Amino acid sequence: MKTGVLLFCHGARDPNWARPFETVLERVRERAPDVSVSLAFLEFMTPGLLQAGLGLAELGCTQVQVVPLFLGTGGHVRKDLPALIDQLRQAHPGVSWGVRPSIGESEGVIAAMADAALHGLLGRNA
Structurally, the chain folds into a number of domains equal to 1
pTM, 2 dp: 0.91
Q: How many Cβ atoms sit within 10 Å of the Cβ of residue 29?
A: 14
Let me know: does 104 contact 76? Beta carbons within 8 Å: no
Q: What is the rounded distance in angstroms from the CA atom of residue 22 to the CA atom of residue 38? A: 10
∠ at Cα 10 (108, 13), nearest 5°? 130
pLDDT digits (tens, 9 = 90+) for 48-85: 999 999 999 999 999 999 999 999 888 889 999 999 99
Q: Which of 22, 92, 104 is nearest to 63 (CA)?
A: 92
pLDDT digits (tens, 9 = 90+) for 3-31: 999 999 999 999 999 999 999 999 999 99
Q: Can you give the residue range of the structural domain that contains 92?
A: 3-123
Q: How many Cβ atoms sit within 10 Å of the Cβ of residue 35?
A: 15
> Which CATH number characterizes residue 80's domain?
3.40.50.1400
